[in-house]
Amino acid sequence: MRTQIKLFHFPALALLVLLSACAAKPTKPPPRTPEVGFVVMKAETVPLQIELAGRTSAYETSEVRPQVTGVIRARKFVEGSLVRQGQTLYEIDPSLYRVAVTQAQANVQSAEATAASTAAKAARYKPLADIEAVSKQDYADAQAAARQSASNVAQTKAALETATINLRFTTVPAPITGRIGRSLVTTGALVTVGQAASLTSIQRLDPIFVDIQQSSADLVSLRRTLAAGGATASSTAVTLTLEDGSDYGLPGKVEFAEPVVDPNTGTVTLRASFPNPAGLLLPGMYVRARLSQATAQNAILVPQQGVARDPKGSATVFLVGPNGKAMLRTITAERTVGDKWLVTEGLAPGDKVITEGLDKVKPNQPVRPVPAGSAPRRPGGPGGGQGGGPDSGHNRPGR
């Protein structure tokens, strides 16, 4: 009897265990609507900055050459120092030129004495010629001699002035104010008029020029943009980045653009001037110039983390649609402005571009939008490390 009871209860016990296991299995919850952060687009006035390579060059350069022949007697400057316009740089032996001045002065005195004598003789002949005491021919000869003597006086005075100028040229002055280089001649060297080699050179470095190279294609594109009315011309302000990566603190301005294209490089030279009171900029330095040639009107800027590229290279963004669903839209974004993309087509003011939580968004998927930055920071969640970084959007369809 006991054996029959055990056989009867064992199948019933197994059935109860099976029913208990089925009852304990949890049901799958419905999928949660992802939370995304968005930015509202607005129209802005945006300066379109570009960065171009350039080299510095002196504002003024003067090569000092002799204007008389002679031997250098003394050098009157310190190499590499700042010299002022008119300051004496060299002295050439003036002995021969002083003698020439003395001789010219004597010639002037002789010519003046002869001119006085002939003028007096012509004056005495005039009344005598009136009474025919002397022939009219003699009076005419006296007048001609007086005029010739006066002409000789003018010639000798011109020779005296030339000799005086040559004597002054024995002192070689600085033609401009600036930083002087090394001397290419020494005391005792013979210099000549019209020689090819200069004695030294002077460069004015405050202000200083920066020659900036811009491709002709970019310049044509800029002019077309301005002509189409999509942008307006900007100011001529320029800033510099030096070779070591540091910023040059003083701003400059564009002076002019050359009207020709270099056939070897295909570039146009823009010349800017910068103040250089401390002499930090030296001619020949390589620099990077930042300037804004145009200002975009009614421009739309999108944070870079909100823009992705499809396999064709087209830029795309996710928008918050009117029905609370994510909408995928193709835009035109060809350049960056700081940490944002400048969008020229595809967006309008008021559009809500999703920038956070993109790793969980699919086209036409319902989303729970919140202003960007207000989503809770959870690892891997909306507004967390995956959705808000520059690499967000890598899981979008078509990537």
Interval 345-393: pLDDT, tens: 889 999 999 999 888 888 988 989 999 887 554 444 433 433 333 344 4
H or E stretch covering 352: strand 352-356
The predicted structure's pLDDT at residue 26: 59
Strand 368-371 and strand 35-40: the pairing is parallel
- Tens of pLDDT, residue by residue over 136-152, are 888 888 889 889 989 99
Once rounded to an integer, what is the mean pLDDT over residues 199-212?
A: 94
> How crowded is the C-beta side of 316, counted as CA atoms within 13 Å?
23
- Tens of pLDDT, residue by residue over 295-324, are 888 888 999 999 998 888 889 999 998 888
The predicted structure's pLDDT at residue 313: 87
* 281/269 Cα distance (integer angstroms): 19
The predicted structure's pLDDT at residue 169: 96
The predicted structure's pLDDT at residue 379: 43
The burial class, CB within 10 Å (0-12 / 13-18 / 19+), for 249 is: exposed
Give strand ranges (E) for 226-314: 231-233, 237-241, 247-257, 267-274, 286-303, 308-309
Peptide bond into 175 cis (omega under 30): no
Q: Coil, strand, or helix at residue 97?
A: helix
Token reading at 115 = 């001119």
- Tens of pLDDT, residue by residue over 179-197, are 999 999 999 999 999 899 9
* 253/133 Cα distance (integer angstroms): 84
pTM assigned to the model:
0.66
- Tens of pLDDT, residue by residue over 58-77, are 999 999 999 999 999 999 99
Lowest mean pLDDT among 89-93, 138-142, 248-252, 384-388: 384-388
Q: Is the pLDDT of residue 18 over 70?
A: no
The predicted structure's pLDDT at residue 144: 92
* 112/142 Cα distance (integer angstroms): 16
The predicted structure's pLDDT at residue 330: 92
The predicted structure's pLDDT at residue 28: 59
The predicted structure's pLDDT at residue 384: 40
**CATH class of the domain defined by 94-169:** mainly alpha
Q: Coil, strand, or helix at residue 249?
A: strand
What is 169-197 written as a DSSP string? HTEEE-SS-EEE---SS-TT-EE-TT-SS
The predicted structure's pLDDT at residue 378: 47
Residue 23's CB is within 10 A of a number of other CB atoms, namely 7
Q: Is the pLDDT of residue 175 over 80?
A: yes
Percent of the chain's residues with pLDDT above 70: 83
- Tens of pLDDT, residue by residue over 41-61, are 998 888 878 888 999 999 999
User: Token pair 């020689």 is at which residue?
Assistant: 195
Query: What does the mean pLDDT of the chain come to?
Result: 83
Residue 9's CB is within 10 A of a number of other CB atoms, namely 9
First-last CA distance in the chain: 74
* 133/128 Cα distance (integer angstroms): 5
Once rounded to an integer, what is the mean pLDDT over residues 168-177?
A: 96
Lowest mean pLDDT among 104-113, 198-207, 228-237, 376-385: 376-385
Lowest mean pLDDT among 136-140, 262-266, 284-288, 390-394: 390-394
Torsion angle in degrees (nearest 10) through CA of 353, 359, 363, 366: -80
With both helix axes pointing from N to C terminus, report the angle between 136-169 and 95-130 in degrees, rounded to the nearest 10.
160
Query: Which of 204-208, 213-217, 293-297 ranks highest by mean pLDDT?
Result: 204-208
Residue 156's CB is within 10 A of a number of other CB atoms, namely 21
The predicted structure's pLDDT at residue 237: 86
Once rounded to an integer, what is the mean pLDDT over residues 77-93?
A: 95
The predicted structure's pLDDT at residue 230: 63
